[in-house]
């Protein structure tokens, strides 16, 4: 039996799921690169990143050389949470594909 | 690039995702069996089933022999929508697992 309660709400929301998937695919992302990949307003993107940061899933690094920019990366806790989330997706896929 | 906009909102919601996953696993379900599998109140379960019915994803069959009961099944459109949804999950898994 699949435990749907394990589908972490913080990750399951579509916008945050897209962010977590991108962050999991590379060691770190500059804000502008994230924004270029996602079909999302600055307001939504920043709100979602802040939610993930507050949950401890995402780290933020502000660089002040030249022009300031912020980079984002998964924390160890964020990677673990995402792995747990993917494990549920895998069960859904196995069940759905028989 | 994964198209997260293809994550059908009707299916992505956790409660409806659990219902769709169960419905996809068997030809049809009696209401009481669905309820026994899901950690959900009658109110939530009926509301989600009605949403999926209105979307054309789920069919309802009322049996009137003996005591009345209702059975639920995926429609062809529901199966197609669920397959499309699973295809996005698969991309997320592939991306997340590198």
Report pLDDT digits (tens) over A12-56. Answer: 999 999 999 999 999 999 999 999 999 899 999 999 999 999 999
pLDDT at A98: 64
Pick the CATH number of A4-93 from 3.30.70.1450, 3.30.460.10, 1.10.10.10, 3.40.50.2300: 1.10.10.10
**Fold of the B8-92 domain:** Arc Repressor Mutant, subunit A (1.10.10)
> For B89, which of A5, A18, A93 is closest by C-beta distance?
A93
- The pLDDT tens digits of the residues spanning B27-39 come to 999 999 999 999 8
Q: How far is A36 from chain B (nearest CA, A)?
A: 12
Is A18 close to B2, i.e. CB distance below 8 A?
Answer: yes
Kindly list the domain boundaries of chain A, sorted by start residue. Answer: 4-93
Chain A residues 35-64 within an 8 A CB cutoff of chain B: 37, 39
- The pLDDT tens digits of the residues spanning B27-71 come to 999 999 999 999 899 999 999 999 999 999 999 999 877 777 899
Q: How far is A55 from chain B (nearest CA, A)?
A: 19
pLDDT at B72: 96
pLDDT at A69: 86
Cα-based angle B46, B50, B53 (whole degrees, multiple of 5): 140
- The pLDDT tens digits of the residues spanning A58-90 come to 999 998 777 778 999 999 999 999 999 999 999
3-state secondary structure of A40: coil
**pLDDT confidence tier of residue B98, bands split at 50, 70 and 90:** low
When comparing pLDDT for B97 and B91, which is higher? B91
Tell me the HSE value of A87 on the side-chain side, using a 13 A CA sphere.
Answer: 11
Asked if B87 is an interface residue toward chain A (Cβ–Cβ < 8 A), one would say no
């Amino acid at each position: 039996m699949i435990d749907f309660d394990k589908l972490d709400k913080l990750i399951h929301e579509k916008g945050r799921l897209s962010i977590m998937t991108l962050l999991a695919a590379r060691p770190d992302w500059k804000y502008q690169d994230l924004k270029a990949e996602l079909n999302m307003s600055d307001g939504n993107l920043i709100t979602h990143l802040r939610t993930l940061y507050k949950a401890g899933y995402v780290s933020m690094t502000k660089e002040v050389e030249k022009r300031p920019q912020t980079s984002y990366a998964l924390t160890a806790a964020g990677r673990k949470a995402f792995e747990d989330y993917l494990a549920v997706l895998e069960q859904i896929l196995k069940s759905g594909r028989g």
